[in-house]
Structure 1
Amino acid sequence: MILVFKHIFPKPYVGLTLWPVIFVKEDVLKQDQVLINHEKIHLRQQLELLIIPFYLIYLTEWLIGIVKYGNAYTAYKNISFEREAYKNEQNTGYLKSRSPWSFMYYYGISNKV
């Protein structure tokens, strides 16, 4: 389910996935295949981790990233879940061929985005 909710997005964010809903900032974004694919990757990640652990790991990685990089946005871009989603968002067939727990490949990669 995709819902439009303008008031929860600080710049530069336009999409957010909270199981089982994808929120987008504007109605036109519902048609953005790359954005929706990115958010669907997060839905799969959340399901694999039984939802609550996903959010705990996500928050932990983000907080560690803030300390490591000294910047909240850089920390966000280096979360393993985000790395997987950004790397594969252009591939609309990715979820059909994706192996379970694929985000683990992106965990601990030391390249700063």
Structure 2
Amino acid sequence: MILISKYLFPKRYVGLTLWPVIFLKTPELKNDPVLLNHERIHLRQQLELLILPFYLIYGVEWLVGLVKYRNAYTAYKNISFEREAYANEDNHNYLKTRPPWRFLRYIFN
């Protein structure tokens, strides 16, 4: 399910996935296949981790990154879930061929 909410986002962000909903900043973003693929990758990650652990790991990785990089955006870009989603958002067949638990590759790499 996709919902639109311009009030949910800081300036640089346009999409957010909270199982089972993809939130977009504007209606036009429904036509952005790369963004939708990125957010669908997050849905798969959340499902694999039975939702709640995804958010816990995400938060811990962001906090560790914040200490390490001293920059919130850099910390965000280095979260394993984001790294997987950004690396594969252009591959529209990715979710069809993605092995389970693939985000683990991005934690250790």
Q: CA RMSD in A?
A: 0.5
Query: Structure 2: any 5+ residue segments left out of the alignment?
Result: none
Match of 1:105 in 2: 105
Displaced runs of 4+ in structure 1, greater than 6 A?
Answer: none
Match of 2:66 in 1: 66
1:1-113 equivalences under 5 Å are: 1-109=1-109
Q: What's the offset of the Cα at 1:11? A: 1.5
Partner Cα separation in structure 2 for residue 32 and residue 4 of structure 1: 14
State the one-letter code of the partner of 2:47: L
Query: Structure 1: any 5+ residue segments left out of the alignment?
Result: none
Partner Cα separation in structure 2 for residue 60 and residue 23 of structure 1: 22
Partner Cα separation in structure 2 for residue 8 and residue 79 of structure 1: 20
Number of equivalent positions: 109
Partner Cα separation in structure 2 for residue 63 and residue 69 of structure 1: 10
TM-score (norm 2): 0.99
Q: In percent, how many aligned pairs have the same letter?
A: 72
Q: What's the offset of the Cα at 1:108? A: 3.3
Partner Cα separation in structure 1 for residue 2 and residue 24 of structure 2: 7
What do residues 9-54 of structure 1 show as CA deviations (whole Å, max 9, x unaligned)? Answer: 0020000000000000000001100000000000000000000000
